[in-house]
A and B are shown apart, each in its own frame.
Chain A
Amino acid sequence: MTDSGAAPREEAGRPPVAAMSWRDVVFESFAGMFARPGRMLLTVLGTTIGLAALVATLGLSQTASQQIIGRFDELAATEITVSSLPAAEGQPSNALPWDAGRRLERLNGVVSAGTLSAVDVGGRLVRGSPIDDPRSRAAFKITVQAASPSLFTAVRARVASGRLLDGGHSLRGDQVAVLGPNAAEQLGVGRLDGLRSIAVGDDVFLVIGVLEGVERKHDLLSSVIIPEGTARALYRLPAPEAVVVETRIGAASMLSRQVPLALRPDAADGLKVASPEQPQQVRAGIQSDLDLLFLMLGGVSLLVGAIGIANVTLVSVMERTGEIGLRRAMGATRRHIATQFLLESATMGAVGGVLGASAGMLVVVGVAFYQTWTPVIGPWIPLLAPVVGGATGLLAGLYPALRAAGLEPVEALRAGT
């Protein structure tokens, strides 16, 4: 092919060579595409669907991961749990102090902190009524936990009815309890219209509140929660088992180093701090996992589109065998024929890419609108879609184009007659 469109130079004794300008290649390709508009539209539609699926899946991946990461940042990245390690033999105990919550709330970056302990009630069962009725099976093995008042803030507890524990309950050793919703249902405690009590073995507790839910420490949902002071008095709770700390976003990493010193400056190494991974690492991990998943889905969609292009282009080559023969008779080389068909399939792929990118973005915006999410899509995705579409068209058209180019003029003319 020549770029100038000028006739090839003919030298004495040498035959002329076939030549075709790029403008003619483009013109002939477009004329070929528009020869059968219906077929062209169907071909473009295949790529459009494939690219729309790809763009939509990538966009939804980014949108969904942003949503997940947002939640992760809000909860997991702002939680620290501190517990004590068993002390070595002959060494003093690594027990957490009873005022752990108050100590930590003085640290910059701590939103709230509270202690939580599983209470050993000696295998006693919990009944929904203080009356022990041997005919009924109303006693259950339910976890009893002791909590400081500030724990409820640290775990973001929501109250369904009644109220939460306060400092007075703990100081006085009141036999009161707050029930998790699952425990309340199990014990048959509904709304607290009147005074409701439960029994742990022979110890009767007045139910002052029922939780609706918690954001952290979900085992509380199935527990009976009593004041720490009561647990110490009744069940000889030796020390808090853990401290749950809610931090400001970004402060968890720093606080995880400060918290042991604030709690046990004498034995900081005896405490175990469970802090979240760095948010950036988690973000990258989640993004990477979702990208892989959605890329695979999008890739399959694109493959289906590519097979569609290849199929339609192949059918087109077969339909146009006579035309190929005619063009060869008029001087088209194999390269001219291959270029024309490749340009046709690549152009249809690129057009499908533009339409697919638009459709895919609409899907992302539509889903985000329906879910009240913020649509997030990388700018490179819609920009690259036509390139990917064109490349897909090019690859899909390769075999049909080579097949067209491989036809001998006489065979093509005979087949197309």
Chain B
Amino acid sequence: MPPLVHLEKVSRSFGADVPVRALREVDFEVASGERVSVVGASGSGKTTLLNIIGCLDRQTSGRYWIDGVDVAALTDRGRAGLRSREIGFVFQSFHLLSYRSVLENVMLAEVYGGRERSGRAERALAALDAVGIADRADALPTRLSGGQRQRVAIARAIVGRPRILLCDEPTGNLDSATTASILELLGSLYDDGLTIIVITHDAGVAAWAERKVRITDGQIQDTA
């Protein structure tokens, strides 16, 4: 059975005249159902790695497969399809639409997957219920606390039942108590079989994962 995420000698450079190599021939695998944290200093390349894994960015060289599908060979529509059906994103700054209600923000995740409209609200409510914030479904995100917003973002990420959850500093804007509750929530999702990759520079969050990967100057240094 191939790994769910498989990067082989993936590099990513920025700029043409004096290229900055954000990733250098990275080999990285994540099996289905794993809980992995990627740690590193600011500018080490961890977010670039996450962007490539999430099909938000393209590698300069190397190969990348998701569940055996060669991502580099996909069209824009194919990559968008992977993002809509296989991958959920949780961002440090939440990225919620301020003019849409909590429920509508979660429902938005199903718009591009081509799923039927019927039952969309019910599924979104179930996702909100799973993250413990169903009672604020009609509120605007601007009326929520940071922890609540991140729960909404997690609900949006999981409503389409993706196989991979990519979290970029999910607790970066949260206090310690809220961080603990978010990690508890992510843990319960992991228990349900979701593959979770967390980018963090927080040692506590990194320790939460069962496998920790350190990245320095665009290269994976060690795996623990």
Contacts and interface: CB of A to CB of B under 8 A. Distances in A.
A222 interface: no
B81 A16 contact: yes
Nearest to A334: B76
Interface stretch (B107-115, B127-135, B201-209): B107-115
B84 interface: yes
Contact of B84 (A18, A31, A325, A335): A18
Interface in B36-87: 51, 54, 56-57, 66, 68-69, 74, 76-78, 80-86
**Residue picked from B57, B74, B82, B97, most chain A C-beta under 10 Å:** B97
Nearest to B55: A409
Quick one: which of A13, A16, A408 has the most chain B CB within 10 A? A16
Nearest to B109: A330
Interface in A32-67: 34-36
Given A18-B112, A326-B95, A330-B83, A13 B68 contact: yes
Interface string B82-125: 11111001010101010110001000110111111100000000
Nearest to B97: A323
Contact of A409 (B56, B66, B111, B116): B56
Contacts of B81: 8, 15-19, 331
Contacts of B93: 417
A23 B117 contact: yes
B112 A327 contact: yes
A5 B95 CA distance: 26
Contact of B78 (A6, A17, A36): A17
A269 to B, nearest CB: 82
A145 to B, nearest CB: 81
B89 A17 contact: no
B77 A17 contact: yes
Contact of B114 (A20, A28, A330, A408): A20
Q: In the complex, which range does the number of interface residues on chain B fall in?
A: 35 or more
A333 B156 CA distance: 18
A36 B98 CA distance: 11
B57 A329 contact: no
Contacts of B77: 17-18, 333, 335
Given A17-B78, A17-B81, A36-B99, A329 B114 contact: no
Given A333-B76, A413-B91, A21 B114 contact: yes
A272 B30 CA distance: 103
Contacts of B156: 330
Interface in A302-351: 322-323, 325-336
A296 interface: no
A15 B78 contact: yes
B216 to A, nearest CB: 22
Contacts of A325: 95
B117 A24 contact: yes
A16 B85 contact: yes
B95 A28 contact: no
A93 interface: no
Nearest to A335: B77
B116 A18 contact: no
A2 interface: yes
Interface string A227-248: 0000000000000000000000
Contacts of A323: 97
A13 B66 CA distance: 11
A68 interface: no
A323 B95 CA distance: 8
A332 B112 contact: yes
A7 interface: yes
B163 to A, nearest CB: 11
Contact of B112 (A15, A34, A36, A336): A336
A410 interface: yes
Interface of A: 2, 5-8, 13-21, 23-24, 28, 31, 34-36, 322-323, 325-336, 408-410, 413, 416-417
30 contacts: A5-B114, A6-B114, A7-B113, A7-B114, A8-B114, A13-B68, A13-B69, A14-B69, A15-B69, A16-B82, A17-B77, A18-B83, A19-B114, A21-B114, A35-B97, A325-B95, A326-B95, A328-B83, A329-B54, A330-B89, A330-B108, A330-B156, A332-B111, A333-B76, A333-B112, A336-B80, A408-B57, A410-B56, A413-B56, A413-B91
Given A16-B82, A21-B117, 7 more contacts: A6-B116, A7-B116, A322-B95, A330-B83, A330-B108, A331-B81, A408-B56
8 shortest interchain CB distances as A-B pairs: A331-B84, A19-B114, A331-B112, A18-B80, A17-B81, A35-B99, A16-B85, A16-B81
